[in-house]
Amino acid sequence: MITLNNTKATVKELNGKHYSPFPEMLPNSEVLLLDEKAKIKVISHYFKHIMLTLGLDLEDDSLQGTPERVAKMYVQEIFRGLNPQNKPHITLFENKYNYKEMLVEKNITIYSYCEHHFAPIIGKAHVAYFSSGKVIGLSKINRLVQYYSKRPQVQERLTEEIAQALKEALQTEDVAVIMEATHLCVASRGVSDVSSATFTSHYSGKFQTEQTRRELFSHLQ
Ligand SMILES: Nc1nc2c(ncn2[C@@H]2O[C@H](COP(=O)(O)OP(=O)(O)OP(=O)(O)O)[C@@H](O)[C@H]2O)c(=O)[nH]1
Ligand SMILES: [Zn+2]
């Protein structure tokens, strides 16, 4: 039995490569208390079960480390946006230069994962805003997009979360987010359509007017 950080969580060690019953699920409230190391331990244990259930040979030296590799990848990389401690610190500057026009940060790489299949969502985000007196460090826009992407997502929520975070950071409603992405759960399995893409957008404040949107689209062409 392994005890994790004083929580009631216990997991039974697998007996060699034989399949054992699933360990008891942790309630969500206790999962949140686990630190990264403990989460990696629990996820690798479950992933080992998945591999064994699929009939994979965990004695194989190429597969032996896979449960821990996957667990580390989930916790420290592709789902790191689930940990609020990883939220980027946003640097704001005074708009001393009195820049009044639209700022567009385009072609920000999106690499997210669909929450239904845990398959990649790959695409681009374009973000625009008008300053309300504060200017954001450019790279912080990319970092915010990355942070919300590193979660199991649906594209609609991802678009809204980015828009909301920018509004809070910049203290303005004048924000637009446009996203175009390919969902590998649509392309590589199921309906297997490799050419379709999904387009989502959020327009608020000044971006609700036709003229401002036209200007934004002209920058994106
Ligand atoms: N709205 C929305 N749907 C998504 C997104 N990513 C994946 N999906 C869809 O989520 C749906 C899940 O539907 P289910 O019927 O439960 O899953 P499924 O049986 O695997 O469906 P198929 O993909 O059609 O084989 C699928 O239609 C996916 O295409 C997203 O970002 N937004
Ligand atoms: Zn999916």
Range of the domain at 43: 2-78
Other Cβ atoms closer than 10 A to 76: 14
Whether 142 and 108 have beta carbons less than 8 Å apart is answered as: yes
200 and 152 co-located in one domain: yes
Other Cβ atoms closer than 10 A to 183: 24
Tell me the helices (H) and strands (E) count for the chain, helix number first. Answer: 7, 9
17-21, 117-121, 196-200, 205-209: least confident range? 17-21
- Reported as a pLDDT band with limits 50, 70 and 90, residue 27 is low
Mean pLDDT, the chain, integer: 88
123 and 209 co-located in one domain: yes
Which of 78, 94, 123 corresponds to the end of one domain?
A: 78
On the question of pLDDT at 32 being above 90, the answer is no
36 and 141 co-located in one domain: no
Token pair in block for residue 191: 């309906």
The bridge status of strand 175-183 relative to strand 120-129 is: antiparallel
Residues 107-140 as b or e (16 or more Cβ within 10 Å = b): ebebebbbeeeebbbebbbbbbbbbeeebbeeeb
94 and 10 co-located in one domain: no
Q: Is the minimum distance from the CB of 190 to ligand 1 under 6 angstroms?
A: yes
Name the residue of 122, 151, 185, 192 whose CB sits within 8 Å of the most ligand 1 atoms, as the mutation to test its pocket: 185
Place of tokens 């789902």: 79
Which residue from 212, 219, 125, 124 is spatially nearest to 174, judged by alpha carbons? 212
Task: Give the tens place of pLDDT for each residue, 33-84.
Answer: 678 998 999 899 999 999 999 999 999 999 999 999 999 999 999 999 999 9
State the distance from the centre of ligand 1 to the C-alpha of 52, rounded, in angstroms.
27
Token pair in block for residue 86: 């990883």
> Into how many domains does the chain fold?
2
130 and 70 co-located in one domain: no
122 and 44 co-located in one domain: no
152 and 202 co-located in one domain: yes
Which of 54, 78, 102 corresponds to the end of one domain?
A: 78
Is 219 annotated as a binding-site member? no
Task: Give the tens place of pLDDT for each residue, 139-168.
Answer: 999 999 999 999 999 999 999 999 999 999
Place of tokens 């939220």: 87
Q: Which residues surround ligand 2, an ion (CB under 5 A)?
A: 114, 116-117, 185
Whether 125 and 108 have beta carbons less than 8 Å apart is answered as: yes
pLDDT of residue 34: 79
Helix or strand (DSSP H, E) at 167: helix 155-170
100 and 41 co-located in one domain: no
pLDDT of residue 31: 65
CB-based contacts of 136, cutoff 8 Å, min separation 6: 90, 91, 92, 93, 129, 166, 169, 170
Q: Is the minimum distance from the CB of 183 to ligand 1 under 6 angstroms?
A: yes
Cα separation, 31 vs 24, in Å, equals 12
Q: What's the CA angle centered on 207, arms 205 and 211, to 5 degrees?
A: 130
Which of 78, 95, 116 corresponds to the end of one domain?
A: 78
Which residue from 213, 191, 120 is spatially nearest to 158, judged by alpha carbons? 120
Give, as one character, the DSSP assignment of residue 111.
E
Task: Give the tens place of pLDDT for each residue, 84-116.
Answer: 999 999 989 999 999 999 999 999 999 999 999
Q: What ipTM, to 2 d.p.?
A: 0.94
pLDDT of residue 30: 61
